[in-house]
Structure 1
Amino acid sequence: MPTRRRTAAGLGFRTFFGLVVLLAGIGASVLTVAGFLGDLWWPFDLAADHRMQYFGVLVLAAILYGLAFGRGTAVVFAAAAAVNAVVLAPLWLAGTTTPPEGAPTVRIVLYDAERAAASRPLLLRWLADLDADVVVLQGTTPEWSDPIAEADLPFEPVIEPAPGVLEGTTVLASVPAEGELVTVRRSTFAVVEVDGDTPYTLVAVESNRPDSQAAHEARLDLFSAAADRATQTERPVVVVGSLGTTRWSKAFSVFTDAGLRSTEDGFGYQPTWMRADLPLIGPYFGIPVDHILVGPGIRVVDRSVGPELAGPHRPVTATLHLRP
């Protein structure tokens, strides 16, 4: 009798385990396909953001299901994992650039300070030690302006949040620069003309993840306006922003279709949101929604994420060589 009970318990666990693995693999496979259909429905565009997570789940599902149950279903999971691998591959396979010796470079830092107001002293100390030409702080409010002005930072404010905004943009520069805010519907983006050895234009745009079709369309309008403005300048152009989406979405393609390219290529998977201190999977739990893009004629010398600061986002730093 005990043997039968143990056998029944073992079969029950095996069935439950197989069902969990099967559902996880099917779900990740369906979402893998849905991520390519963002033009049809806005939730599908959100599904495109989790390519790394789908890849991990599908590889695990293919191995576990193949060993314990059947190879046919495991092959389907492996094929879906391969699709995500192809999408992810440019993050590692694209070549990086070494500028000519002595060539001037610029360093741009982007940080979304969402929910970080309580840790403002920590952020100000980080800014005080930061080596950068331009710093873009997003998710800020007018209450940030006075502490920044009083902190004796190596930067001058170029753009400050407009009165009454809950999530605005602050642009700081250690080189001469002038900026303006451009309004699109109820949103704004910043345009900064940066002077120096090699002048360039910086466009800073911020957007949250949409929760409705109307919000999705408003974000597309904002991205289109920012991309159009970026292509109108005769200077080299850099677009930065906490965009609330990854490079694999249809929304992000608004920028790439305008001739801009992500600085991520060749530097691996660098998630910026959400921060997670988890064993093994911690670095791969989040998604890269904070971006620095460049126009033609700009070489990406280096790109990094960090350090760990307050709030759910990580800063992004890009070192660029602007060919005259």
Structure 2
Amino acid sequence: MRSTSLGGLEVSRIGLGVMGMSGFYTGAGRDEAESVRAVHRAIDLGVTHLDTAEGYGPFVNEELLGRAVRGRRERVVLASKFGMISHAGRSVPDGTSANVRAALEGSLRRLGTDYVDLYYQHRVDPDTPIEETVGALGELVAQGKVRHIGLSEAAAGTIRRAHAVHPVAAVQTEYSLWTRDVETDVLPTLRELGIGLVPYAPLGHGFLTGGIRSLDGLDETDWRRTNPRFTGGNLTRNLRIVDGVRAVASDAGVTAAQVALAWLLAQGEGVAPIPGTTRVERLAENCAADEVRLTAAQLARLDELVPASGDRHRESDMASIDR
């Protein structure tokens, strides 16, 4: 698989989001051995970029990934996140310097490593100046415990302030054919500053694969059952997007998932999506998107798809996004 640069950090163009192996989605946490095999298969396929967070579980997802990369540490880029858990008893998100340091020590222990390649602030703390948070991260870089720093779901102004304190390698946010908000302000800012973009949920939480046309088959605990884009009449309305992606896929002779990923990769260098899966066959499918070349006409058809109906998160989750 080819690589791309996230602010100087070389990663595979397609990574692996590990979150769904431990929670949030149907089937999560049922077969840890299979999840470990999936991580191993991803590495064998050329995936170097593996993404987790202390908040996934919490903690168990980092532990799972740590076990999976044991003996393979030097072959991968480990990315994790802090701030959605306060280790000082404060309200969350917690971006204080003390919490940054405490969170990292826990992540290093669970991941079984002495450094994290890419360490993100999971959500911006409105009560702590971003300069304090990034200053603490910069100290960890100087100590060799963190190689590169990142922000997740940060607004353009926050990114600029952070980058002025210490170089930011990557910003992680939701970006896909049904979530394109990033194109307005954030992506142009990243291009200007030389910061990479890591799209999470690049397959629309599985919706853009074409495999979800109703909520039937989803566990009762699956968070998509409460997501505005999957509930009410929005799911039916959003099928228009899926059908458009499937039409291009048929024309290109590839799968809908590969089209969705190839569209993201066509947005330029420094874009490294992290689709998540626990299924080995899906890993191969996703990785093969690196070789898909969509024509200008196909890209234009995808760009003209109708916007998604419904907010990308429920109201309480949208409130934590820096806007």
TM-score, scaled to structure 2: 0.34
Flag the structure with higher strand content: 1
* Greater relative contact order, per chain length (Cα 8 Å cut-off, separation 6+): 2
TM-score, scaled to structure 1: 0.34
